[in-house]
A and B are shown apart, each in its own frame.
Chain A
Amino acid sequence: MAAAGEPIIEFRGIRRTYGSGEAEVRALDGVDLTIRRGEFVAIMGPSGSGKSTAMNIIGFLDRPTTGTYLFEGKDVSALNRDQRALIRRHYLGFVFQGFNLLARTSALENVELPLIYKGLGRAERSALAAEALAKVGLQGREHHDPSELSGGQQQRVAIARALAGDPVVILADEPTGNLDTTRSREIMELLVRLNREDGITIVMVTHEEDMAAHAGRLVTFIDGRVASDRAMPAREAAQ
């Protein structure tokens, strides 16, 4: 494990193109970006700016066309599908705008999902999942189905799922996009707490300034490039 403050995600001249020839679309056009352990980075940008593509590459769901991606200092640009699945399994946690919980499956079993693929036994899974649910303030709701939970609670289950696998980085893709202001603030406070207390690096895509204000750093994408990259004012001030 690298020490706090070391680069954990490094993009060097990352390009991602779709199609070829005349129809070629450059979603990312030479991106250099370094994210250090323990950071809370917000990514903003208009639609089509490449922020989602960048998130997919950071999250090992996609691969750069050219350029180098260093993860914990190792070149991971050319990993195949299964190798990328292993990185997701052991290092990453995902939180989505639409929660993406399994329907008709209890909160506990949803949170256990990544642990199944980690190969943990039932008892251990169930204990870790319950712990993660307690951490997001959902103790007592372990056996509720997603349909019996509010939007804010569902997103907490999703965060618990991301947390259960003991990730190095949590990737949040518009985590408050489907929530009202109060629930949104609660979710953001939860993410901030995980970042501060557990030292989990968080990368979050958002299009709301208010949400980005919770982060320590704001990266803005325009036309497939990093347009601005600045530290945010102290978060205490934002609250």
Chain B
Amino acid sequence: MIWETVRLALQAILRNALRSFLTVLGVVIGVAAVIAMVTIGQGSSDQVTASVESLGTNVLILRPGRAMMGPGVRDDAPEFRLADAEAMSTLSVVAAAAPVASSTLTAVYGNANATTLVTGTGASYLDVLNWPVVRGRSFADAEERSGAAVCLIGETVRQKLFGNTDPTGEAIRLKSVSCEVVGLLQAKGASTFGQDQDDTIIVPIRMLQRRVTGTTDVSSIRVALAPGVTTARGIREIEALMRERRRIGIGEDDDFSVTDMAEISSMLTGINNVLAGLLSAVAAVSLLVGGIGIMNIMLVSVTERTREIGIRLAVGAQARQVMMQFLIEAVVLSLIGGLIGILLGLALAYVAAQLMAIPFAPSLPVVLLAFIFSAFVGVVFGYFPARSAARLDPIEALRYQ
């Protein structure tokens, strides 16, 4: 009997295919929106996790100046010095500490040139970031100490200057300095913030300070904590060291900040979740509107089919059976809408994932949930029309023109 009713419902739906489609459009859009949002949200949150991991786990970043400074706001906190990083790397909680200074420069090789971020640091920087050299070698200690004119280049810079040829051993010109490429960095892709991390050149920090910027400033220090050291303990010991080195008295605030990558990661995930939540709420409203659309058309359909209901009652249908017929019709209708919506939503998410260069991450539980939810919409919004169909008086219904 139930399959019979489902078959009947499908017949009734197909008899008026265009109207049926317009009826479920609301549900289609609602479900598609939910599926697309959740899938894209999941993809970008996977992306965040992956790229934060690519920045290195258990990594801290020290910057001069107080925490919570807005952009453009400066205070008179002194810059770090190379000695700060050296002192820090002697702490037992620290595995590696890399001083960082940077400058945007144009690199020239033959006729090709590339404007890129040149980072002055040491070989330990690559250890902190977990960033291997895939061709050639990293800096030698002597090169770091003397500030030799050597550099490592990212994949994007290599493409711009050398195409697919081997860059190692070639000399590029940075400002007025001729600099030998000693290694090629592994391709990393876009960062959490959408920057191309491979569009970079790394040189020994002393070389950058002496020959490019002409200062001894270190703008930040990246620290990898030793294995087994908790972030809280690491931060505590590093802060203590820096307060001593920068002669900050007891009771005075730090004039530098320590940022923990895990913190950034959870902040970004949080933003992602809030956005996904908001968009899902909008999608839920759209589903509600879709449900009301179904109820509307089902009510019209009950009125239109009054005579049919009369005939069914006359040949012996019970009120319950008429009710089931209309209820199942509403459920089948909204399930069809849900199914179309799921396919549409996944397609949208796939296209968006390609465009945004994030992973396509469909989730089976979410798809199932959307399917069940659309059946639920059918039951809730089909109930009222179905009940009014079942309550029709057969005599009146047969007389209806």
Residues in chain B near residue A118, CB distance under 8 A: 316
Do A61 and B318 touch across chains, with their CB atoms under 8 A apart?
A: no
Contacts of A113 in B (CB 8 A): 311-312, 315
Asked if B313 is at the interface (CB within 8 A of a chain A CB), the reply is yes
Quick check: A62 and B395 within 8 Å, CB to CB?
yes
Chain B residues with CB below 8 A from A119, complex form? 1
In the complex, what residues of A have CB within 8 A of residue B317's CB? 85, 89, 117
Measured between beta carbons, the chain A residues less than 8 angstroms from B318 are 81-82, 85-86, 117
B87 at the interface (CB under 8 A from A): no
Answer whether residue A65 sits at the interface, using C-beta atoms and an 8 A cutoff: no
Contact residues, A103-133 vs B (CB, 8 A): 104, 113-114, 116-119
| Pick from B4, B310, B314: contact of A116, CB under 8 Å | B4
A105 vs chain B, min Cβ distance (A): 8
CB distance from A19 to the nearest CB of B (A): 16
B212: Cβ under 8 A from any A Cβ: no
User: Cα distance A118–B316 when bound, in Å?
Assistant: 8
Q: What A residues does B310 contact at CB under 8 A? A: 100
A89 to B313, CA, bound (A): 9
Question: Chain A CB within 10 Å — which of B312, B315, B318, B398 has the most?
Answer: B315
The answer on a CB contact under 8 Å between B315 and A94 is: yes
- C-alpha gap A31/B317 in the complex (Å): 29
In the complex, the chain A residue whose C-beta lies closest to that of B391 is A81
Cα distance A96–B394 when bound, in Å?
A: 13
> Which size bracket describes the interface of B in this complex?
20 to 34
B79 at the A interface (CB under 8 A): no
Residue contact B315 to A114, C-beta cutoff 8 Å: yes
- A99: shortest Cβ distance to chain B, in Å? 10
Contacts of A81 in B (CB 8 A): 318-319
Contact between A82 and B320 (Cβ–Cβ < 8 Å)? yes
Chain A residues in 8 Å Cβ range of B1: 119
Cβ contact within 8 Å between B321 and A117: yes
Whole-angstrom CA separation of A101 from B398 in the bound complex: 11
Q: Flag if B398 contacts A96 (CB, 8 Å).
A: yes
Find chain A residues with CB under 8 A from B394 CB. 61
Question: In the complex, which residue of chain A has the Cβ closest to the Cβ of B317?
Answer: A117
B307 at the interface (CB under 8 A from A): yes
For residue A234, CB closer than 8 A to chain B, the reply is no
State whether the Cβ of B15 lies closer than 8 Å to any Cβ in chain A.
yes
B316, A89: Cβ atoms closer than 8 Å: yes
How many whole Å from A103's CB to the nearest CB in chain B? 8
Whether A102 and B316, one on each chain, are in contact in the complex, defined by CB atoms closer than 8 angstroms, is: no
Tell whether A141 is near chain B: CB-to-CB under 8 Å.
Answer: no
B15: chain A residues within 8 A (beta carbon) = 104
Q: Which residue on B lies nearest to A114, using beta carbons? A: B315
Interface string of B117-161 (1 = CB under 8 A from A): 000000000000000000000000000000000000000000000
Is the beta-carbon distance between B314 and A102 smaller than 8 angstroms?
no
Nearest A residue (CB) for B401: A98
A104: chain B residues at CB < 8 Å are: 15
Residue in A closest to B395 when the chains form the complex, CB atoms: A61
The distance in angstroms between the C-alpha atoms of A82 and B317, with both chains bound, is: 8
A-chain residues with CB within 8 Å of residue B307 when the two chains form the complex: 100
Minimum CB–CB distance for A33 against chain B, Å? 20
Say how far A120's CB is from chain B's closest CB, in angstroms.
10
Which residues of chain B are near A178, meaning CB under 8 Å?
none
Among B4, B320, B395, the residue within 8 A (CB) of A56 is B395
| Contact between chains at A161 and B315 (CB < 8 Å) | yes
Asked, given contacts A86-B316, A117-B316, A117-B321, whether A102 binds B398 with beta carbons under 8 Å apart, the answer is no
Q: Check: A165 CB closer than 8 A to any chain B CB.
A: yes
Check if A217 is an interface residue, CB within 8 A of chain B.
no
Is residue B308 within 8 Å, beta carbon to beta carbon, of the partner chain?
A: yes
Minimum Cβ distance to chain A for residue B314 (Å) = 5
Q: Is A90 an interface residue (CB 8 A)?
A: yes
B316 and A100: CB pair below 8 A? no
Restricting to A68-108, which residues have a CB under 8 Å from any CB of B? 81-82, 85-86, 88-90, 92, 94, 96, 100-102, 104
Partner of A82 from the list B315, B319, B395 (CB cut-off 8 Å) is B319
Complex contact A89–B315 (CB within 8 A): yes
A88 to B310, CA, bound (A): 13
Known: A56-B395, A61-B394, A117-B321. A85 touches B311 (CB 8 A): no
- The minimal Cβ–Cβ distance linking A65 to chain B, given in whole angstroms, is 15
Specify the chain B residue showing the minimal Cβ separation from A56: B395
CB distance from B14 to the nearest CB of A (A): 10
Chain B, 191-244, CB within 8 A of any chain A CB: none
A52 → B minimal CB distance (Å): 9
B372-401: CB near A (< 8 Å → 1, else 0) gives: 000000000000000000000011001000
- Determine how close the nearest CB of chain B comes to the CB of A85; give it in whole angstroms: 5
Closest 4 CB pairs of A and B: A89-B316, A114-B315, A85-B318, A88-B316
19 other contacts beyond A85-B317, A100-B314, A117-B317, with CB at 8 A cut-off? A56-B395, A61-B395, A62-B395, A81-B318, A82-B318, A82-B320, A85-B316, A89-B315, A90-B316, A94-B315, A101-B311, A102-B308, A102-B311, A117-B316, A117-B318, A117-B321, A118-B316, A119-B1, A165-B316
Instruction: Give 29 pairs: A residue, B residue, CB < 8 Å, sorted on A.
Output: A61-B314, A61-B395, A61-B398, A82-B320, A85-B316, A85-B317, A85-B319, A86-B316, A88-B314, A88-B315, A88-B316, A89-B315, A89-B316, A92-B316, A94-B314, A100-B307, A100-B398, A101-B311, A104-B15, A113-B311, A113-B312, A117-B312, A117-B317, A117-B321, A118-B316, A119-B1, A161-B315, A165-B315, A165-B316
Chain B contact residues, CB within 8 Å of chain A: 1, 4, 15, 307-308, 310-321, 394-395, 398
